[in-house]
Amino acid sequence: MNYSLITLEILAVLLGLTVLLADLWVSPSSRKALGLGLVAALGCLLAFAVGSLAPQSGSAFSGLFVVDDLARYFKGFFIFAALAVVVMAVDFAPKFGAGLSEFFALTVFALVGMLFAASANDLVLLFVSLELITVTFFVLNSFQRTRLASLEAGVKYLILGGVSSAFMVFGIALIFGTANSTNFSVLFAKQKELSQSALFLMGLLLVLVGLGFKMAAVPFQMWAPDVYQGSPAPATAFLAVGSKAAGFVLLIRLLVGTVPQITAEWHRLFVVMSGATILFGSLCAIPQRNLKRLMGYSSIANAGYLLLGIVAGSAAGSTAILYYLGGYAFTVLAAFTVISAIANHVESDDISALSGLGQRSPFLAAVLTMAIVSLAGIPPMAGFFGKVLLLKSVLDAAAGHPELYALIAVAVVGVVISLYYYFGVIRAIYWGGQSSNLSTIPVSLATRVVLVACVAGILVLGIFPQGLLKIADHAVAGLSHSSTPAAHKAAH
Amino acid sequence: MDSLTSVILAPVITAVLLLLIPGNFRVVLRLAAILGSAWTAWTAVALFSRFHAGQEGLQFESLVPWVTVGSMNLAYHVGADGLNIGLILVTGLVGFAAVLVSWNIERHVKLFYVLLMLMIAGAMGAFASLDLFFFYFFNELALVPTFIMIGVWGRGEDRNWAAFKITLYLTLGALTALVGLIAFYVAAGANSLDVTVLKAHLATHPLPASTQTWIFPLIVFGFATLVGLFPFHSWAPVGYAAAPTATAMMHAGILKKAGLYAILRVAIPLMPDGAHRWLPVVAVLAVGNLLHCAWVALRQKDLNLLIGNSSLAHMGFAFLGIASLTVIGVTGTVLVMVAHALLAGLSFALSGYLETQTGTLDMTRMGGLLRRMPFYGTAMIMGFMASCGLPGFANFAGEATVLFGSWKSLPWLVIIAAWSGLVIGAVAMLRALRAVLQGPEKPEFSRVSDTDYWRRLPFVMLLSAMVLFGVSPGILTSRIEPAAKAVVAAHRTPSQAGESKAQPAAIPAAATATPGHSGH
């Protein structure tokens, strides 16, 4: 057993516990400094996770836990997201009232869940890591205890999250019952016979319900707008980036890595799911006036675009998902950091709160504009190249499947619709309405650094995609189970 | 650094430098923008003069691999031939003129010039690119600047609506074309979107006609929407009327040509069977531009709407030349594109100056301005006469060439085009001249003054280019013709393969008959 594989997770757990303990000795006035210390620690963790000292590939706990390029890709991704969220939370501190350190610690624990999710090679670990994420988010979402909307968000997430977990457990039970195993490698080896079993397929479908909830894909998207709007901005940002990506990494492992044949057979299901998600998100976003709610619908629409990569069912599709998520993380974190900074200052996250931002804070205005433009998928931003990769992966697979052409048409229509509401935000920034208050919005140095990093990420991924694309390509290339020892054991 | 990259980077570098200047140093910002665009224009002029006329193939070529992962293989590949060298030249000139006429922008000066520089860079990059991905990339670079510029510095009550309308139309067109391009990438199987690679690959592995039949319309109608082909044109006049002068100049003059350029670069030469199937449709729709838009222009009271609609009518000529599929017709199309870039830039610069002086563009309220503004009035007469197709201006040369080139294949369309361009268009333009410049002087415009000396620079520059290319179009045609031949020649190959088995002599005869006309 190679325990060194979970070094990263152990370090993260220790980090969370350290924050909780340090809180006992740190005076309330210097809790922000504690947050900045945590940011520095997460920075070191990120450097460790993407550096050459990171755990080598391998599997541990009898195949439960794997470290491969895919896992490493997502671990770096999750740690960066957590880092940005903690920076956001430091600035957001006055709104929490008490319990800032707990917010930090819970963010780190959610991160631990995501790190495990990235390495999950077994339905049990999949479930446990998802539950760790979900349970911490119950608390994170309702962290503004004096604000009704925040409590409502927490309760909604709790109830719907609970229901989806129940579906998932049921599904896992069915799978275990039919396959005698919950290990992905074993399932991969047996998928031919398992695909004949209706109970197994039923179980798989129920597991997809749970993952669909995480990704906010239709028809499991109902919670997203309310929770996005009600939760404190840092929690929303983490939900939008981390939780969604955790759903997708597990989806890729399960559908593309473990049961590719069944995925191919079910591809109509994913076509419908993807198209409906894109249309629902795009259409419902049109009338929104609240920025965070708008981002909620936009996040649903983006789940739909990401599902295009699953529809493609190819390595290129998964690569596209990874690349798109990379750009999406920078974009959404930049957007939420700006939204959070504005909300701190003007006590509103309505779109009208943005009016005059172009004059008040040209820097924040430019960052938010670039993030929005990237979400809309316009060059030279990251979102454009991601969408191109996704569309290309679907077109690659489209020969002989007319429904894929319809899906592409839906995606194009979705992009055009999304342009309408995204550009409405740009309008509000530069010329929508007159704002009487033209004082500059204060931005802390740490926030500034995160914003510059996000903008650099958006632009670099948009203009020089080669680097990340290569990494994503490698990550997906190592996905196949055929070479792992557990699969051989099961096959013989 | 190679010369084509420097013409793209010049405006980008200027934009970055502008970002470093504090926002309240307005004069410094304006001067920096003028210098930067002058540098761009100068580089473009130098490229044009260094271009070897009459030579086939690409010049100033440069290739840098960009993405090579798996089946993705994209490269930054720029190069110039007859199709784009003229467009690069006018992008430099019109861009410089657009910066010059923006001196009196007062609000958010820095943002304005940064966005304008991005538009110029996008247009330059789009014209210089030989990789279709980069073409699209650069072309879309102008989208967000257009939207913000119309919203922040735009004119009229409707500018909000106009900003969304132009953005959504342009995006829909661009995305349709993008799907077409990706489908083309996948179908061609060359693992590249580089035009030169695709051409070589398709010469040995031609696309099946059925595939071309569905990809061709995606690309052509997608890009044609960006040009304003009837009936996808309604965004253009309202967009230009609401846009600030510089944006209207850049968009109507330059960016609109990118769609035509893409059609000439990729759709016609690389998908000949699709072209056969669909170009008749394009020709019929071009009639919509020629007749409908010219007729609409005739009815306008607002000078900007008049210019916008008449500029759409001129695009009909460009489509007609493409649909003719002859060397002369395609040469004429490129000539029209270059000439119209100068003309549209000039027209919107003129209307912009008029608005700053009179505060209105309603032609029914104007009159007798020629007496107050002799220089301006002369420039306007020259510009509008050029739009009527007066010989001596580049526009006449282009439109006449298109008409000659199309006579053989599309005679009835030529008659319609001549009518619209030379009669309806002329009536519209002459009526506008009469309404604005002639008649009794209006007392409310007694304080209107003519242009200062230095403000004449953009008008003089654009007009002299129009006269130069009008008097000796050979400067352009000698550069365009080899490229136009390549466009049409690539087109002839499969039809020879398909049809000429029955009549081996017929098609080469037709192909050689057309250059015979080009004696002028």
Rounded to a whole number, what is the distance in Å from the CA of B126 to chain A's nearest CA?
13
Q: What is the pLDDT of residues B155-194, one digit of tens each?
A: 888 888 888 899 899 989 998 998 898 888 888 888 888 8
Model confidence at A343, in pLDDT bands (50, 70, 90)? confident
Query: Tens digit of pLDDT for each residue in B384-415?
Result: 999 888 888 988 888 888 888 888 887 787 77
Cα distance between residue B120 and residue B114, in whole Å: 10
Question: Residue B182: its chain A contacts at CB < 8 A?
Answer: 388, 391-392, 395
Q: Are B344 and B98 in contact (CB under 8 A)?
A: no
Mean pLDDT within A109-123: 94
What average pLDDT does range B289-299 have in this prediction? 85
Q: What percent of chain A has pLDDT over 90?
A: 60
Collect all residues of chain A within an 8 Å Cβ-Cβ radius of residue B179: 391, 395, 408, 412
- CB nearest B70 (choices: A416, A427, A473): A473
Return the pLDDT at A1. Answer: 61
Partner residue opposite A380 with nearest CB, options B141, B147, B176: B141
Q: How far is A393 from chain B (nearest CA, A)?
A: 9
Model pLDDT for residues B177-187, shown as the tens digit of each residue: 988 988 888 88
Indicate if the pLDDT at residue B512 is higher than 50. no
DSSP designation for A120: B
Give the mean model confidence (pLDDT) for residues A158-166.
Answer: 92
Q: Is the pLDDT of residue A97 over 80?
A: no
Q: How many of the other CB atoms lie within 10 Å of CB of A141? A: 28
DSSP B91-129: HHHHHHHHHHTTTT--SSHHHHHHHHHHHHHHHHHHHHB
**Within-domain flag for B27:** yes
Report pTM: 0.90
Confidence of residue B276 (pLDDT cuts 50, 70, 90): confident
Nearest by CB to residue B147, choosing from A316, A423, A473, is: A423
Which residues form the domain of B489?
3-498
A379–B137 C-beta distance less than 8 A: yes
Is A484's pLDDT higher than 70? Answer: no
CB A122 within 8 A of CB A172: no
pLDDT of residue A436: 67
**Cross-chain residue pair B69–A396, CB shorter than 8 Å:** no
pLDDT at B504 > cutoff 50: no
Is B147's CB within 8 Å of A373's CB? no
**In the prediction, which pLDDT does B492 show?**
59
Residue A225 has pLDDT above 70, yes or no: yes
* CA–CA dist B388, B425 (Å, integer): 6
In DSSP notation, A404-444 reads HHHHHHHHHHHHHHHHHHHHHHHHHHHTSS--S--PPPP--
Size of interface A-B (CB pairs under 8 A): 91
> What angle do the packed helices B109-128 and B26-50 form, to 10 degrees?
10
B226 in any annotated domain: yes
CB contact under 8 A, B143 and A378: yes
User: What is the per-residue burial (b if ≥16 Cβ within 10 Å, else e) of B182-199?
Assistant: bbbbbbbebbbbbbbbbe
Mutation pick from A388, A410, A476, A479 vs chain B, by most beta carbons of B within 10 Å, is A388
Structure tokens at A488: 């051989």
What is the average per-residue pLDDT within B500-508? Answer: 38
- B413 located within any domain: yes
A389 contacts B182? CB cut-off 8 A: no
The CA-atom distances, in angstroms, between A400 and each of A268, A309, A396, A404 are 13, 18, 11, 9
For chain A, the structural domain boundaries read 3-491
Query: Do residue B179 and residue A373 have CB atoms under 8 angstroms apart?
Result: no
B193 by DSSP, 3-state: which? coil
A466/B111 touch (CB, cutoff 8 Å), yes or no? no
Count of CB atoms within 10 A of residue A395's CB?
Answer: 20
Up-side HSE of residue B190: CA atoms within 13 Å toward CB? 24
From the list B69, B144, B186, the residue facing A378 with the nearest CB is: B144
Distance between alpha carbon B502 and the CA centroid of its chain, in Å? 40
Whether residue A459 lies within 8 A of chain B, CB to CB, comes out as no
Q: Do A358 and B71 touch (CB under 8 A)?
A: no
Q: Do B69 and A466 lie within an 8 Å CB cutoff?
A: yes
Q: How far apart are CA B172 and CA B177, in angstroms?
A: 9
pLDDT at A118 over 90: yes
Q: Which of A285, A327, A288 is nearest to A418 (CA)?
A: A285
Token pair belonging to B325: 């599929």
For residues A73 and A329, is the Cβ–Cβ distance under 8 A?
Answer: no
Q: Give chain B's domain count.
A: 1
Helix (H, G, I), strand (E, B) or coil at B60: strand
Q: For residue A482, name the pLDDT band (cuts at 50, 70, 90).
A: very low
Q: What are phi and psi of B407, to 5 degrees?
A: -55, -40
- What is d(CA A340, CA B459) in angstroms, rounded to the nearest whole number? 49
pLDDT of A492 > 80? The answer is no
Q: Is residue B200 part of a domain?
A: yes
The reported pLDDT for the residue numbered A491 is 42
Q: For B435-458, what is each residue's pLDDT tens digit?
A: 888 888 878 877 888 888 888 899
Mutate to test the interface with A, among B175, B184, B215, B232 (most CBs of A within 10 A): B175
- DSSP conformation class of A28: G
Tell me the shortest Cα–Cα distance from A325 to chain B, in angstroms: 18
Check whether A489 has a pLDDT greater than 70: no
Q: Given a cut of 60, is residue A487 above it in pLDDT?
A: no
B143 lies within 8 A of chain A by CB: yes
Share of chain A above pLDDT 70, in %: 97
Using DSSP, state whether B77 is helix, strand or coil.
strand
Query: Measured between CA atoms, how close is B414 to chain A, in angstroms?
Result: 36
User: Computed from CA positions of residues B409, B413, B415, B421, in that sequence, does the dihedral angle turn out positive or negative?
Assistant: negative
Residue B41 lies in a domain: yes
Please give, rounded to a whole number of angstroms, the shortest distance from the CA of A408 to a CA of chain B. 8
Helices (H), B325-359: 327-358
pLDDT at A145 over 90: no
pLDDT above 70 (res A480): no
Among B70, B141, B175, select the one facing A316 at the smallest CB separation. Answer: B70
Could you please report the per-residue DSSP string of A438-478? -PPPP--HHHHHHHHHHHHHHHHHHH-THHHHHHHHHHHHT
Interface test with A, best of B18, B129, B132, B144 (most A CBs within 10 A): B144
Average the pLDDT over A379-407 and give the result: 88
DSSP state of B450: P
- What ranges make up the beta strands (E) of A33-190? 58-60, 65-67
Nearest-Cα residue of chain B relative to residue A373: B144
Q: Measure A13 CA to nearest chain B CA, in Å.
A: 36
> Is A392's CB within 8 Å of B136's CB?
no
Contact B29, B109 (CB under 8 A): yes
CB contact (8 A) between residue B148 and residue A379: no
B151 to chain A, any CB pair closer than 8 A? The answer is yes
Q: Is the pLDDT of residue B519 over 50?
A: no
Separation CA B172–CA A411 (nearest Å): 11
pLDDT tops 60 at residue B202: yes
Among A366-375, B196-205, B466-475, the range with the most confident prediction by mean pLDDT is A366-375
Q: Which two tokens stand for residue B127?
A: 């014209």
**Between residues 379 and 438 of chain A, which touch chain B (CB distance below 8 Å)?**
379-380, 384, 388-389, 391-392, 395-396, 398, 408, 412, 415-416, 419-420, 423, 426-427, 430-431
Token pair of B290, please? 């020629």
Distance CA A415, CA B173 (A): 12
pLDDT score of B14: 92
Query: In chain A, which among 257-276 make CB contacts under 8 A with chain B?
Result: none
Average pLDDT, chain B: 85
Cα(A432)–Cα(B147) distance, rounded to whole angstroms? 13
pLDDT at B498 over 70: no
Taking the C-alpha atoms of residue B218 and residue B199, their distance in angstroms, rounded to an integer, is 19
Interface residue B178 vs chain A (CB under 8 A): yes
Test B172 with A416 for CB contact under 8 angstroms: yes
Structure confidence at residue A169 as a pLDDT band (50, 70, 90)? very high
For residue B506, being part of any structural domain is answered with no
In this model, does residue B222 exceed pLDDT 70?
Answer: yes
* pLDDT tier, A481 (very low <50, low <70, confident <90, very high otherwise): low
The conformational region for residue B228 under phi > 0 = left, psi -120 to 50 = alpha, else beta, is left
What mean pLDDT comes out for the span A471-480? 85
